[in-house]
Amino acid sequence: MTGVNDLIDRPTEELPSPAVLIDLPTLRRNIAEMAKLADGFDVALRPHWKTSKCAEVGRLQLEAGAVGLTAATAAEVEALVVAGFEDVFWAYPPVGPHRIATALRAARQARLIVGVDSLASAEPLAEAAAAAGLTIEVRLEVDTGLGRTGVDPDEALDIAWRLAHTPGLVLEGVFTHEGHVQGVGADPERRTELGTAAGRLLAEVAERMRSDGLEIPSVSVGSTAGARSAPSVAGVTEARPGTYVYGDENQVAIGTIDPADTAMTVLSRVISTERGETVLVDAGIKAMSSDGSMHGDGRIGTVVSGSDGVSDGEGVLATGHEEHGFLRGSSPKRVGELIRIRPNHACGLTNMHSHVFAVENGVVVDIWPVLGRY
């Protein structure tokens, strides 16, 4: 954006809207807290970078002790390597020529570990790596309950053996994304139960492999909702939470993140009050993303208010068109008035924007490009 750097040192009220604000003190606190939690469990921390896609955030995470970062897309892997990050786990099947080419390029410049869940997804990468004279580290994904990618735990040993003996690959470990822990919603006991069970299942699978003669250095779990349970299990060696770094309304809704620990909001202006109690603002679907709400009421964002900028009670973005948000349940508003909105899902929101504004005490202190968007 032309002249965007002129906005550094300016109060947030002067920003063009909609604009993504990242509260720097909250961000730093979230990073420090998760580093402390991982330390307490004696596991390595490898945050999922898709939440921020900002090199600056990744560097803060590494400074706080993270061993490396996790990525989902080829564009994220490319961006991380170009930005100089040296240890990347690509937690996504390397299917298709573009992903194989990205993996080979990245593996020449950095330590790259690639997630696979079948021989079919691993063999083309193995062949390309062997032909290029490279050996690529792979982790086998195990489904511990989410029901997305990941091999059935009972079939993991057989596939691990084959991977370990495939030229061009070296089996580095096992991993899971225990996303089903978030799915149970606001039930802390059930979350702990499922997170612990996921960690236990993965550690058992790794133990079976070791008993069979395979070396399995890494046993990696990863999610924000499961961050207090899955990595606490003996045998788990690594945690990969992502959303924690910014926090979002869906984590607030289920009670895994306190509203005061959400660093990300969207600054928006009231553009019309012609619809009476429903007020129109300039943050619609293209600003907020269309990620669903765990409140179950279809909202696309939650308005925050108060001097701390985090307390609730100022209404919700009930729905949106592309550039129009429909604000309901708020106090009367004037055209031009500013509001701040907490997104349902931080990672989805990040991918909608080309940059974010790092702010402290209501002043812009830095502007961070969002890298590696599709």
Ligand X SMILES: Cc1ncc(COP(=O)(O)O)c(C=O)c1O
With contact defined as beta carbons under 8 Å apart, do 78 and 102 qualify? yes
> Of the two residues 48 and 353, which places its CB atom closer to ligand X in the complex?
48
Give strand ranges (E) for the chain. 19-23, 44-45, 69-71, 87-90, 111-116, 136-141, 169-175, 218-221, 238-239, 264-272, 279-281, 301-304, 316-320, 325-328, 338-343, 355-360, 363-369
Shortest approach of ligand X to residue 361 CB, angstroms?
28
Sign of torsion over alpha carbons 65, 342, 369, 26: negative
Shortest approach of ligand X to residue 329 CB, angstroms?
28
Residue 221 dihedral angles phi and psi, to the nearest 5°? -110, 170
With contact defined as beta carbons under 8 Å apart, do 126 and 116 qualify? no
Q: CA nearest 73: which of 95, 57, 58?
A: 95
Q: How many CA atoms lie within 13 A of 283 on its CB side?
A: 34
> Of the two residues 242 and 309, which places its CB atom closer to ligand X in the complex?
242
> Of the two residues 69 and 303, which places its CB atom closer to ligand X in the complex?
69
Shortest approach of ligand X to residue 77 CB, angstroms?
13
Shortest approach of ligand X to residue 160 CB, angstroms?
18
Shortest approach of ligand X to residue 175 CB, angstroms?
7
> Of the two residues 166 and 350, which places its CB atom closer to ligand X in the complex?
350
> Of the two residues 90 and 326, which places its CB atom closer to ligand X in the complex?
90
- CB atoms inside a 10 Å sphere around CB 322: 8
> Of the two residues 179 and 284, which places its CB atom closer to ligand X in the complex?
179
> Of the two residues 240 and 342, which places its CB atom closer to ligand X in the complex?
240
Q: How many CA atoms lie within 13 A of 359 on its CB side?
A: 25
> Which residues in this chain contact ligand X in the complex, by CB under 6 A?
48, 70, 91, 177, 179, 182, 222-225, 240-244, 347
Shortest approach of ligand X to residue 201 CB, angstroms?
16
Round to whole Å and give the CA distance between 63 and 88.
15
Shortest approach of ligand X to residue 337 CB, angstroms?
32
Q: How many CA atoms lie within 13 A of 333 on its CB side?
A: 27
Q: What is the DSSP string of 196-258?
A: HHHHHHHHHHHHHHHHTT----EEEE--STTTTTGGGSTT--EE---GGGT--HHHHHHTSS-
> Of the two residues 1 and 374, which places its CB atom closer to ligand X in the complex?
374
Shortest approach of ligand X to residue 284 CB, angstroms?
24
Q: CA nearest 206: which of 242, 163, 174?
A: 174
> Of the two residues 216 and 227, which places its CB atom closer to ligand X in the complex?
227
- CB atoms inside a 10 Å sphere around CB 174: 27
Shortest approach of ligand X to residue 169 CB, angstroms?
19
If you ran DSSP here, which 8-state letter would residue 276 be given? T
